[in-house]
Amino acid sequence: MIKSFTSSEQLKKLALFMEFTPPEMETLIELADPLMFKPGQVVVRQDETGDAMYIVVDGTAVVTHKRDGKEVLLAKIGPGDFFGELALVDDGPRSATVTAVGECIMLKVPQAVLRALAGVYPNAAFKMLMSVAKVLVARMRQGNQRYIDSMLASKK
């Protein structure tokens, strides 16, 4: 069974869960869905409705975006990385496709799991959301810097 692949020791190594207490970690493992993906298997598809965030526990995946028939590699992600976090807030469409490169173990965390975790351990849900927020802010800063750099380069 896949549950045996996601132990609290495995998850505790990930930055997202470093501050979790053992009971908080066990509750998360009980609530969330550990999933295994085979090489080449699509985890989420661009433009489909988002229903959960995913955390890479083991393995690697690629994030791609397709427009006008061209596919662009946005990122290669591995253990500790996560995607689909916007689905915790709204049910909007996915902005990219994520595909497993090799065998991947991921933890699927739907909105309902986060709400259930918050009901039992509000502090754990807060810690998780703050970790997600820190990563989102870093991504925004990086995107803003790229935008500024491109604007300055085009003015030369």
Domains and CATH numbers, the chain: 2-154 (2.60.120.10)
User: Which of 1-15, 33-47, 50-64 shows the lowest per-residue confidence on average (mean pLDDT)?
Assistant: 1-15
| pLDDT (0 to 100) of residue 5 | 56
Is pTM beyond 0.75? Reply is: yes
Contact 61, 103 (CB under 8 A): no
Query: Given this model, what pLDDT does residue 112 score?
Result: 92
Q: How far apart are CA 28 and CA 127, in angstroms?
A: 12
The two structure tokens encoding residue 86:
């916007």
Alpha-carbon distance of 130 to 139, in angstroms, equals: 14
Highest mean pLDDT among 6-15, 78-87, 140-149: 78-87
Q: How far apart are CA 143 and CA 148, in angstroms?
A: 9
What pLDDT shows up at residue 44?
Answer: 96
Beta partners for residue 36, in sequence order: 105
